[in-house]
């Protein structure tokens, strides 16, 4: 027997069920478990595992079933393209959800949602849940990047855009680490400028978050994604040196680097041209629907040591003001750091380093001097690469679904100290 709750509160859009139930329980001053028992049923007859029941929730919360199907993630009907959504819930725009009482609203947002364009607020990837969201009124290019990102979705589809934007971040992050000399117009100068606004020097222990570093590089990540996600550009790079040169010129233009030429080592663009451009976009590692917690009374929370990691990364950042490391080690980039065809490694940090290197024959290049020279040696692939996938693919691309388990991603990412 279930009874209708007296206070009628609708769910927020894209809200996960546990968040909605927690708010309802708070507003009615009742234990969460008591409410959960009223809106769930055993998964199968006699099963101790209970799952959310949309009809019971509609009755108890006094909401129409159609309203719940539009808003509550677990009850979405028709079901969304789950791979287009992150697998971790997060706080969306605080101002958009401010009118929903009873506690924080946790939402499941799509991979392409980084900014609330209406309130000009940075949302970013799932990160520090209780962190303040930066205002972007003084950084309009970050808001513009969100609009460009949405246009990319319409042109290339979810799969190509997901891979391309993360690869764009990966390239920016490596460049933020490696570049020592910046020239006027170099994006590197922009990243430092934005970081001074978002994480002012001297305030790192309070204001630092990896999410804010993503904000610093977001405009260039999207600008690079417009090339990386495009099949015609991928085909040009795979075709031979002329295409590679044209691509490098365009990449250089978008990063503000004059006469940019990809190098054999310490260059993530060269790595992508060698290893990835002729292979299908990498999909997310998992999705929210596939998690065992789906429809249950709990959800996967960010790892408990995340604030410790944040403080360690803040300390590193305060010394060097380079954001690449923290971005590369954030779980958001994992799908493009360890791809299905990546060289297997036991250690995640080695996998990160490999994403900026091309193949070097260890028998020919043994000494430190050799390796130093490679950092200024142009990378070129003289012959076209043959790829059935690249020859036959059409836009918009569909997700590349795995038939087997995802390869091991190596040891846990660890911040540099
Ligand atoms: Zn908003």
* Residue 247 near residue 236 (C-beta atoms within 8 A): yes
What CA–CA distance (Å, rounded) separates 326 from 310? 9
* Residue 208 near residue 317 (C-beta atoms within 8 A): yes
- Indicate the pLDDT class of residue 417, thresholds 50, 70 and 90: very low
Q: Please state the rounded mean pLDDT for residues 28-45.
A: 95
**Cα 160 to ligand 1 centre (Å):** 26
**Cα 119 to ligand 1 centre (Å):** 4
What CA–CA distance (Å, rounded) separates 141 from 194? 10
pLDDT recorded at residue 408: 64
**Cα 115 to ligand 1 centre (Å):** 8
**Cα 92 to ligand 1 centre (Å):** 8
Domain boundaries, the chain: 17-122, 140-392
pLDDT recorded at residue 416: 46
- Give 349-386 as a DSSP string: HHHHHHTT-----TTT--SHHHHHHHTTSBP---SPPP
What CA–CA distance (Å, rounded) separates 339 from 411? 15
What is the tens place of the pLDDT at every residue in 122-154? Answer: 999 999 888 899 999 999 999 999 999 999 999
Question: By C-alpha distance, which of 235, 260, 236 is closest to 250?
Answer: 260
**Cα 12 to ligand 1 centre (Å):** 12
What is the tens place of the pLDDT at every residue in 75-97? Answer: 999 999 999 999 999 999 999 99
**Cα 151 to ligand 1 centre (Å):** 19
**Cα 129 to ligand 1 centre (Å):** 16
Question: By C-alpha distance, which of 113, 68, 114, 107 is closest to 88?
Answer: 107
308 SS3 class:
helix
**Cα 373 to ligand 1 centre (Å):** 49
**Cα 284 to ligand 1 centre (Å):** 26
Q: Please state the rounded mean pLDDT for residues 400-404.
A: 80
**Cα 85 to ligand 1 centre (Å):** 18
Question: By C-alpha distance, which of 106, 127, 180 is closest to 313?
Answer: 127
**Cα 143 to ligand 1 centre (Å):** 12
- Indicate the pLDDT class of residue 304, thresholds 50, 70 and 90: low
Q: Is the peptide bond before 396 cis (omega within 30 degrees of 0)?
A: yes
* 3-state DSSP helix/strand/coil % of the chain, to nearest 5: 50, 5, 45
- Phi, psi dihedral angles at 332 (to 5 degrees): -60, -35
**Percentage of the chain modeled with pLDDT above 70:** 95
**Cα 93 to ligand 1 centre (Å):** 5
pLDDT recorded at residue 374: 82
Tokens of 389: 């996938």
Average per-residue pLDDT for the chain: 92
What CA–CA distance (Å, rounded) separates 195 from 240? 38
**Residue that wins the pLDDT comparison between 410 and 280:** 280
**Cα 116 to ligand 1 centre (Å):** 5
What is the tens place of the pLDDT at every residue in 173-190? Answer: 999 988 776 788 899 999
**Percentage of the chain modeled with pLDDT above 90:** 78
* pTM, full prediction: 0.94
Question: By C-alpha distance, which of 231, 226, 251, 254 is closest to 151?
Answer: 226
What beta strand segments (E) does 103-247 contain? 106-107, 115-116, 121-122
């Amino acid at each position: 027997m279930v009874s209708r709750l007296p206070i009628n509160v609708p769910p927020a859009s894209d809200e996960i069920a546990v968040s909605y139930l927690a708010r309802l329980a708070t507003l009615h001053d009742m234990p969460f478990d008591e409410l959960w028992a009223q809106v769930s049923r055993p998964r199968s007859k006699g099963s101790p595992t209970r799952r959310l029941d949309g009809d019971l929730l509609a009755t108890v919360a006094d909401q129409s079933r159609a309203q719940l199907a539009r808003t509550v993630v677990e009850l979405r009907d028709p079901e969304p393209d789950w791979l287009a959504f992150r697998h971790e819930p997060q706080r969306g725009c605080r101002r958009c959800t401010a009118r929903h009482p009873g506690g924080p609203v946790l939402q499941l947002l799509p991979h392409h949602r980084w900014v609330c364009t209406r309130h000009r607020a940075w949302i970013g990837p799932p990160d520090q849940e209780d962190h303040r969201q930066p205002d972007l009124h003084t950084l309009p290019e970050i808001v513009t990047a969100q609009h460009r990102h949405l246009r990319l979705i319409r042109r290339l589809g979810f799969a190509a855009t997901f891979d391309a934007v993360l690869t764009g971040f990966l390239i920016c992050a490596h460049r933020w680490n490696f570049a020592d000399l910046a020239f006027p117009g170099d994006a590197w100068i922009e990243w430092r400028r934005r970081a001074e606004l978002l994480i002012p020097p001297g305030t790192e222990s309070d204001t630092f978050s990896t999410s804010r570093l993503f904000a610093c590089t977001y405009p260039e990540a999207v600008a690079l994604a417009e090339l990386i996600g495009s099949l015609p550009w991928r085909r040009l790079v795979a075709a031979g040196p002329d295409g590679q040169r044209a691509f490098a010129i365009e990449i250089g233009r978008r990063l503000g680097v004059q006469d940019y030429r990809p190098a054999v080592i310490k260059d993530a663009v060269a790595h992508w041209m060698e290893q990835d451009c002729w292979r299908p976009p990498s999909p997310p590692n998992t999705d929210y629907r596939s998690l065992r917690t789906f429809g249950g009374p709990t959800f996967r929370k960010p790892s408990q040591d995340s604030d410790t990691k944040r403080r360690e990364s803040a300390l590193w950042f305060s010394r060097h003001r380079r954001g690449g490391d923290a971005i590369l080690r954030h779980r958001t980039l994992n799908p493009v750091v360890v791809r299905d065809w990546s060289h297997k490694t036991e250690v995640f940090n080695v996998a990160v380093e490999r994403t900026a290197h091309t193949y070097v024959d260890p028998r020919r290049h043994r000494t430190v001097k050799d390796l130093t020279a490679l950092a200024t040696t142009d990378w070129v692939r003289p012959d076209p690469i043959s790829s059935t996938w690249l020859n036959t693919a059409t836009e918009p691309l569909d997700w590349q679904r795995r038939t087997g388990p995802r390869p091991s991603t190596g040891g846990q990412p660890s911040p540099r100290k």
